[in-house]
Amino acid sequence: MKNPMLEAASLLLEKLLLISNFKLFSSGAPGEDKARSSFQDINSFHRGDVLEVPRTHLTHYGIYLGDNRVAHMMPDILLALTKDRRLTQKVVSNQRLILGVIGRVASIRVDTVDDFAYGAEILVNRLDKSLKKKALRNEEVAQRAEKMLGTTPYSLLWNNCEHFVTYCRFGTAVSPQADKFCENLKIIIRDQRSVLASALLGLAAIICLGMASYTTLPAIFIPFCLWMAG
């Protein structure tokens, strides 16, 4: 049986990650009127390569399948609203992506290299060095990606595009980006100034809204939890 407290904490972490990286979705996302690269040197890509596109705060990943095709995980709220592939196969817009993250619905889909990169520089197989893991054979990597095509639950922390490509490339799903966010959050929680700040905010809420369960309990519970975690 799932622990509701853990689920609530997980959801809060994901929303914090979404807010902290909002520029990722508002900077050069598909569907925006930005100049896009009309050419990518796809001749240098090999089937099974990990392609990555650096963004403002995060990096988007995909697996090159050959013939100008990239498999990648994309949040998309439209998948929860229609089964019409003519609509869902269109390039995911900024609004569809953000709502897909909030709704935790995505697909592992195939797009062209240009649609995957939407004008940004593409880096190849950098995870091999940063993770210091032995990659599987390129053909096996591509076949793993092809078998996973279709709709999938989405989570910024537990099931994102980086989890997808690391599973395909190395056989283990990991996300250093999500891990780094959690580590930064631990630093904030362990900072005793966070306890003081939350206590002051709770006191301000009680003063402004009065003594009620929905103000008093959080005002006590949140600083206490931060204090114990620190």
Closest CA to 151 of 159, 143, 162: 159
Q: Whole-prediction pTM value?
A: 0.70
Question: Among this protein's residues, is 225 annotated catalytic?
Answer: no
Are 87 and 152 within one domain?
A: yes
Nearby residues of 186 by Cβ (< 8 Å), 6 or more positions away: none
Calculate the average pLDDT of the chain. Answer: 78
Q: Can you tell me the distance from the alpha carbon of 120 to that of 107, in angstroms, rounded to the nearest whole number?
A: 22
User: Over the stretch 25-71, which tens digit does the pLDDT of each residue have?
Assistant: 444 444 443 434 444 678 899 999 999 999 877 899 999 999 999 99
Residue 85 maps to a domain? yes
Q: Helix 176-190 vs helix 213-229: angle between axes, to the nearest 10 degrees?
A: 100
Domain that holds residue 79: 37-174
Are 224 and 140 within one domain?
A: no
Of the two residues 179 and 224, the one the predictor is more confident about is 179
Are 89 and 198 within one domain?
A: no
Give me the number of domains the chain comprises.
Answer: 2
Residue ranges with strand state E in 103-185: 105-112, 123-124, 150-153
Are 47 and 84 within one domain?
A: yes
User: Over the stretch 132-165, which tens digit does the pLDDT of each residue have?
Assistant: 889 999 999 999 999 999 999 999 888 999 999 9
What pLDDT is stored for residue 30 in this prediction?
A: 43
Residue 224 maps to a domain? yes
Of the two residues 206 and 30, the one the predictor is more confident about is 206
Q: Can you tell me the distance from the alpha carbon of 57 to that of 47, in angstroms, rounded to the nearest whole number?
A: 27
CA–CA distances in Å: residue 35 to residues 11, 38, 89, 213: 35, 9, 22, 52
Across the beta sheet with 59-66, the strand order is 123-124, 50-54, 59-66, 69-75, 105-112, 150-153
15 phi/psi in degrees, rounded to 5: -65, -35
Catalytic residue among 161, 168, 182, 225: 161
Are 123 and 205 within one domain?
A: no
